[in-house]
């Protein structure tokens, strides 16, 4: 099972996997999307990782759910109580935002992704941490509330992704933190559609 959001490497990865294991490589993509329930306008544009997350969340909760994936991008994938992918919200991920400031400004350093002691930074490091990390706390809280308001009902919320453990102040918003959600979704897709 292959999920890749880097189109330029997907064929190479599929070939290497086939040569290594001698098995056909099933790719999560538009061929499979047509067999999944989606309410989005252009299913071919959705990332295969988001599809895997949605499949795993529905399998886990069997109810309305929101998957918050803390990766290169910060994504919010909304799933209906019938397993239909309703839509996605995408923002730059924490590291992506921090790196953009470091890379695109002359005087801002790269800083560790750690919560600062205060929202009022007393030095450049704390100022960056307050702006980005505490700003993301507000972003997560706001988008989750808005999505649930638009659905007019509460949802199960699961966090995943490499940086899902960083934002302790929003941990109470999640019903579960599952760093392996995407992998579980890939397994489920392989079992059901492979």
Active site residues: 49
Burial class (CB in 10 A: 0-12, 13-18, 19+), 123: exposed
Reference 71, options 88, 52, 50, 87; nearest CA is: 50
Alpha-carbon separation of residue 17 from 6, 21, 122 (angstroms): 16, 6, 50
Tell me whether strands 73-79 and 65-70 are parallel, antiparallel or unpaired.
Answer: antiparallel
Residues 6+ apart with CB under 8 A from 62: 81
Tokens of 165: 């453990």
Tell which phi-psi region holds residue 161, choosing left (phi > 0), alpha (psi between -120 and 50) or beta. left
Q: Is 60 helix (H, G, I), strand (E, B) or coil?
A: helix
- Given a contact cutoff of 8 angstroms between Cβ atoms, the answer to whether 97 and 139 are in contact is no
Residues 6+ apart with CB under 8 A from 37: 80, 82, 83, 84, 85
């Amino acid at each position: 099972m292959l999920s890749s959001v880097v189109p330029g490497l997907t064929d190479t990865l599929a070939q290497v996997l086939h040569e290594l294991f001698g098995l056909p490589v099933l790719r999560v993509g538009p061929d499979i999307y047509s067999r999944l329930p989606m309410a989005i306008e252009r299913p071919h544009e959705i990332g295969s990782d988001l599809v895997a997350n949605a499949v795993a969340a529905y399998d886990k909760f069997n109810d309305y759910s929101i998957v918050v994936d803390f990766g290169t991008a910060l994504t919010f994938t909304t799933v209906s109580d019938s397993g239909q992918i309703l839509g996605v919200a995408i923002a730059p991920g924490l590291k992506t935002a921090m790196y953009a400031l470091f890379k695109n400004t002359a005087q801002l350093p790269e800083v560790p992704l750690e919560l600062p002691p205060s929202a009022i930074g007393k030095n450049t490091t704390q100022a960056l941490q307050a702006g980005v990390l505490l700003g993301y706390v507000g972003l997560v809280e706001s988008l989750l509330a808005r999505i649930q308001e638009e659905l007019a009902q509460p949802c199960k919320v699961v966090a995943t992704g490499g940086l899902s453990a960083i934002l302790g102040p929003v941990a109470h918003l999640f019903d579960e933190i599952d760093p392996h959600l995407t992998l579980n979704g890939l397994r489920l897709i392989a079992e059901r559609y492979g």
